[in-house]
Amino acid sequence: MGEAPKPAAVPPGLEADAGVTIHAIAAEIFPLCRSITGDGVRETLRRLGLHIPLDVVEVESGSPACDWTVPDEWTIRAAYIENAAGERIVDFRANPLHVMSYSVAVDEVMPLDALKRHVFTLPEQPDLIPYRTSYYAPCWGFCMAHRQLEALPDGPYRAVIDADLTPGRLTYGECYLPGDTPEEVLLSAHICHPGMANDNCSGLALLTYLAKQLTGEKKRYSYRFLFAPGTIGALTWLARNEEAVSRIRHGLVLSCVGDGGGPYYKRSRRGNAPIDHAMDHVLRLNSGAPEIVDFVPYGYDERQFCSPGFNLPVGLFQRSRYASFPEYHTSADTMDFITPEHLAESHALVREALFVIENDRLYRNLFPKGEPQLGRRGLYDALGGDPKAAEKNLAMLWVLNLSDGAHSLLDIAERAKMPFATILATARLLERHKLIAPVLA
């Protein structure tokens, strides 16, 4: 059913290569010491920018960001603990989780007891390093495995953090891909978590891959990919882009898309936005028991996009839900925890939802009085011998019956309990035969 100048009539389905490439992009940025500001973010954006055209935006400390203010920039050069023998027992170069994000500078020798007041561990997961931040309260800290801490002799220890917290800039990246209309689809992943693969390299890598793919494709909507630090980055972008915000018609926040859980979708605050219906349709079609929940005001940057003053049609897509898996926010969230297979699956689900959004529209039956005679137009013949003929005939009857200017193709697919792609292919066929025509917006 290939109609050359039009976009594909069927969603691309699983692309095994996609999983491998997304995994490789994630691996590239995995070890970097990202935070809400600083060179870790800049280096991450530089590497993503090798794949896609990326506008890197720098916003000065002190700039307003809705009710917030862009904080000072954190520069981290070194962070380690030395024992009496001068051996570094932890070093942030080995794992960026070892230093609490936004730690202030320190260089002090102290006994174990004093050191412990600055060390965070997970007693119930004694081999894992936790992830800790202190963005808005100036202090310093280290994170390490509880078992390692327990085994430490009394000391003394030298704690060194060579860091600045001074006026600088917050950095985020945007990739804008123009489509046929200025109406936008927003796709967003946070870029502030250091050294964790599922949360958040997986989302950054998947969106980077997707942006590259979409660059070469004809698109109805314009697409904006946003890679910004969680909360403060989204707020900064929202505050500076009210006009772009007004053009957003659909959106997704992505995080933790590489593990074997889920899929999970949290609806937008509106609850019945087209993206909510599209994700619902695609997830139910492709997986046995997706978890699909109403909006709750906790999670990722959908919190900001769905605040009442914006109330954007933006949902959250994940595999395992945040805070629901043991590797979450620990050093166990490694590149081994995410797999090319699951990344490919996640990619295919998002891609298919976007396919629905791109292709959903209203049609009007041009012969609404009775059924038009399909046989005369070869529309039964066209399908003859096809083992799926009955389903295709039924799809034609559904599209003809509900193309009344009030039911979109997705509405029809849901009502007919058929895949959107089947309904779309049917609508294209009927349109070609001048039986239905799109309703102009």
Q: Please, is 319 exposed, middle or buried when counting C-beta atoms within 10 Å of its C-beta (0-12, 13-18, 19+)?
A: buried
Interface residue with a copy of itself among 53, 180, 298, 388 (CB under 8 A) is: 298
Closest CA to 186 of 264, 254, 258: 254
Q: What is the footprint of a copy of itself within residues 332-391 (CB under 8 A)? A: 365, 367-373, 375-376
Going across the sheet that includes 436-438, the strands are: 404-408, 362-365, 436-438
Q: Any contact of residue 243 with a copy of itself (CB under 8 A)?
A: no
What the block records as the tokens of 241 is 């882009």
What the block records as the tokens of 310 is 């914006």
- Segment contacting a copy of itself by CB under 8 A, of 96-104, 114-122, 280-288, 298-306: 298-306
Residue with Cβ nearer a copy of itself (269 or 342): 269
> Phi and psi at residue 407, in whole multiples of 5°?
-110, 120
- Segment contacting a copy of itself by CB under 8 A, of 111-119, 196-204, 220-228, 398-406: 398-406
**How many residues belong to the site for a copy of itself (CB under 8 A)?**
40
| Close Cβ partners of 383 (under 8 Å, ≥ 6 residues apart) | 389, 392, 393
* Shortest CB 90 distance to a copy of itself, Å: 27
Q: Any contact of residue 310 with a copy of itself (CB under 8 A)?
A: yes
Q: Any contact of residue 117 with a copy of itself (CB under 8 A)?
A: no
Beta pairing, strands 184-190 & 264-266: unpaired
Residue with Cβ nearer a copy of itself (211 or 436): 436
Q: What is the chain's alpha carbon radius of gyration, rounded to the nearest angstrom?
A: 25
Residue with Cβ nearer a copy of itself (204 or 396): 396
Residue with Cβ nearer a copy of itself (53 or 297): 297
The owner of tokens 């600045």 is 164
Q: What is the footprint of a copy of itself within residues 39-78 (CB under 8 A)? A: 65-68
> CA-CA distance, 178 to 214, in Å (whole number)?
10
CB neighbours (10 Å) of residue 105?
16
Note the residues at the interface with a copy of itself (CB under 8 A): 65-68, 136-137, 231, 234-235, 238-239, 269, 296-298, 303-304, 306-310, 365, 367-373, 375-376, 394, 397-398, 400-404
